[in-house]
Structure 1
Amino acid sequence: MKLRNRALLRAGVAAAAAIAASTAFAAPALADDTADLGIKLDGTTIAANAEGKFAVVSLSNAGPNDAHGITVTIDISALDTEKIDFIDGECDDPVEGKVLCGIDGDTIEAGAEYDWDFPIVKKDGATGDAGEITVTIEHEGTDPNEKNNTASAKVVLSEESGADLRVYSPDVYTWDEAAKSYTDEPVAPGASSRVFAEVLNMGDMTAKGLAFKVSLPEHVTFTTPEDECDFSADKRVATCDYNDFELKPYELVEEFNSLFYWDIKVDESAPAPSTLHGTVTVAAIDEVEIEAPPAIARMNAPKAAELPEHFKDIDKTDNTDDFGVFVAEAGGEGGGGGLPVTGPAAGIIGGVGGAVVIAGAVLFFLARRRRVVTVTPDA
């Protein structure tokens, strides 16, 4: 499998910067190590003629405090290694079927989310069920709800071909229109910003047309109409059909992912400081065969955002991503009186590799990326 250093989706995209998180969540007067961590595992069904894909691990901290000493364990003891190769050079080597991983900074801030992924590669001729992977998150403090600290997913080698989309939506901070990037500051009540979504096709067919459903949290609204989108009466839900947009499987193209954005505004009445959560869901409107389909042999959200069943995707578990809108304390640091809104409400930047206009935003996301790091188990 060609493991590219993908611009935004590769392992360890941080969902919140430490500055923003510390602004949004005041530290307690006395040190407290209580933090409710959670973990999800999605994206483990592989299209018939795809080499493999990147399974998605989503980490979260519901607070009330920052979580330190983070360890993620990937249990591959139930994975069928006759059918699947597990590859992740950024974690420790497997020991008795378990792989230990850490994260840069060793901390997930209260209210933050943290996404990364690891490749699972199909062996020649393999089909059907390929076992199961389990992931577990721990931290050095007290977790009041350990029921959401473990997640499992079956690895399925589908006999069906189709598009297989993955979406990543970073957390929202103040948007700097001149620099074409987020800043590290939360959005001030009354100010504007943008919601971004990056889409990657991990399947074996081209997605012809992309359908989005973007659900904003309370106190956040879309600001500019767009022909391809229908907005709810309260301007908090956008349903968009980009019928002419095609996204090929990422193995076949150099510019293998696409960025979309929508302009938003945080109400002056929004609770502050706070983190407000929304969702982005994407699916293919239709699918078309690619000119040279890859062979099996190696080749050179949340309910509020669900899409109708007729939209197509081999594995819908990784079609939704949550994002947080970090809201600054009223009268404090933040986006001031609002940022200029220019261009269409939803911008499409096809192919990050050739997206000069969004270069600043891409560099910003890269600067925020946190990589998975090796940790050594205790002797």
Structure 2
Amino acid sequence: MAVGRRWLSRTAAAALLLIGGIAVPAGPASAVDPEPKFTFELTGTTIPVGFTSKTLHLKVTNLTDETPSVIQYDVRPDELAWRDRAWFLWGEGGGSGECDGDSAGWYCRAGAGTSTAAELLPAPGGTVDYPISISTGSIKEPFEGKVQIEVYMIWGEDGERVTETREFTVTLVDDAEADLAVVAPDVRQSVRVGAGGRLESTGTLNPGETGAVRYRIVNHGRKAVSGVTVDLRLPEGVTFTRPPQECAVDDDGRSAVCTYDSLALVPVGEDTEPNDDVHSAVELYNLVTVPADITAPVTLADGTVQVEGLTEGISARSAPKPAVLPANAVAVPAADVDASDNQDGYAVVVAAKKDDDNGGGGGLPVTGPQAGLIAGAGLAMVAAGIVLLLARRRRSVAFISGDDTTAS
């Protein structure tokens, strides 16, 4: 009899431990919790000696399925090494957030609830390009130096701060060739073509709607080009709406090569006014359409834009005239142009329609205390039932001993 009770006690204790372990609620956790939560790169880090200023880009990519509530990046150049060679400053004309500090070290910050949050906080799977200006000093000779950048993000009101720090090499080179750069922001808005061929935003980009892949090209070198080719690739599922006549679209409908052989780009500094026939920077766009049957919200990644100069060796005075801009090109003042490498990536961010908020679409499922309690309660009931069943079966045999054949 004592043996039977010990067995029953051990069984009940094990069941209680099982129930207790199940019933303890787990903390909130995303069903998909990628590591790391973001990544970043600094592009445009090679600068011709003699070029007075250039805009580098800090490209921050959000690897989670949620938009952060806060992002801040700190730029810390080696002040002693860079003295009289170059100064690092946040980009002028917006696109940096709220900034403070000087050339020896400064930070910029953006948060939810501000008017620029939609542009400065990277969407799930999206990338934001933050401009960093570099102005060269009195020592104009080849040089290679370091700059340290720290980035942190916060998700939610009381979320944990996630910080990453990297060191980048910035190089001054004695190279008198042309140097084209391109930057292509993520596509987030639906658009229509308004008066004069200018794009007008009509709201967030929803399934079946038309957006625009925009890209700015600038010549921050020391020689001009007389034309530009653009190799454009769309994310999977996205197609060209109405490619311009300068573009040859591939059979897959997702890639195109655009040739602008009369689009002369002179070095920044030789440029005059945006309405002149020669420019140092232009902004172009290509209309694209998102599938109507796509499940939103979703970020369609892996879009790329690559540019290349066709010819070199011309100047503002000798450039072909008139260098008529193509119908889908808009000249932008050189002082307002962001710079990058010759290739840039972008994503198409598709939002769910408002009337779909209670159906389909939606973000990734989230597990947390409620899900844990519900599952725990159910499993606890099952475990308790098993214990009672085993206890009853044990009673029918465990208390029969010796010559006593009467079950108690």
Q: TM-score when scaled to structure 2? A: 0.60
Match of 2:287 in 1: 263
- 1:280 corresponds to 2:305: yes
Alignment partners' CA distance in 2, 1:328 and 1:210: 33
The residue identity in structure 2 corresponding to 1:37 is F
Q: Percent identity?
A: 25
Deviations 1:215-247 (A, max 9, x none): 101111123354432222111011122111101
Match of 1:110 in 2: 124
CA contact (8 A) 1:39 1:150 kept: no
**Where do 5+ consecutive residues of structure 2 fail to align?**
1-27, 93-97, 275-279, 318-338, 358-408
Q: 1:152 to 1:53 in 2, by over 3 A?
A: same
CA contact (8 A) 1:42 1:55 kept: yes
Match of 2:175 in 1: 160
Match of 2:347 in 1: 324
Greater relative CO, 1 or 2 (CA 8 Å, sep 6+): 1
SS in 2 for 1:238: strand
- 1:181 corresponds to 2:181: no
- Residue of 221, 245, 260 corresponding to 2:263: 245
Question: How many angstroms does 1:291 deviate by?
Answer: 5.3
Question: How many angstroms does 1:289 deviate by?
Answer: 4.0
Q: 1:66 to 1:227 in 2, by over 3 A?
A: closer
Q: 1:129 to 1:333 in 2, by over 3 A?
A: farther
Alignment partners' CA distance in 2, 1:40 and 1:269: 34
Q: 1:151 to 1:242 in 2, by over 3 A?
A: farther
- More displaced stretch, 211-220 vs 83-92: 83-92
- Structure with the bigger percentage of helix: 2
SS in 1 for 2:269: helix
- Residue of 127, 137, 143 corresponding to 2:141: 127
Match of 1:344 in 2: none
Alignment partners' CA distance in 2, 1:131 and 1:120: 13
Deviations 1:293-345 (A, max 9, x none): xxxxxxxxxxxxxxxxxxxxxxx9622222221224378479xxxxxxxxxxx
Q: 1:75 to 1:225 in 2, by over 3 A?
A: closer
Deviations 1:226-283 (A, max 9, x none): 4432222111011122111101223222324212121222223434221112121212
- 1:138 corresponds to 2:163: no
Q: 1:326 to 1:85 in 2, by over 3 A?
A: closer
SS in 2 for 1:63: coil
Q: 1:160 to 1:110 in 2, by over 3 A?
A: same
Alignment partners' CA distance in 2, 1:331 and 1:108: 21
Question: How many angstroms does 1:133 deviate by?
Answer: 1.4
CA contact (8 A) 2:126 2:346 kept: no
- More displaced stretch, 202-211 vs 323-332: 323-332
The residue identity in structure 2 corresponding to 1:43 is G
Instruction: Give the CA RMSD over aligned residues.
Output: 3.3
Deviations 1:49-82 (A, max 9, x none): 3112111111221222232332211120275223
Question: How many angstroms does 1:175 deviate by?
Answer: 0.9
The residue identity in structure 1 corresponding to 2:215 is A
- Residue of 74, 85, 88 corresponding to 1:86: 88
Deviations 1:126-152 (A, max 9, x none): 2112311122211244478x7xx4443
Q: What is the number of equivalent residue pairs in this alignment?
A: 279
Q: TM-score when scaled to structure 1? A: 0.64
SS in 2 for 1:138: strand
The residue identity in structure 2 corresponding to 1:73 is D
Match of 1:354 in 2: none
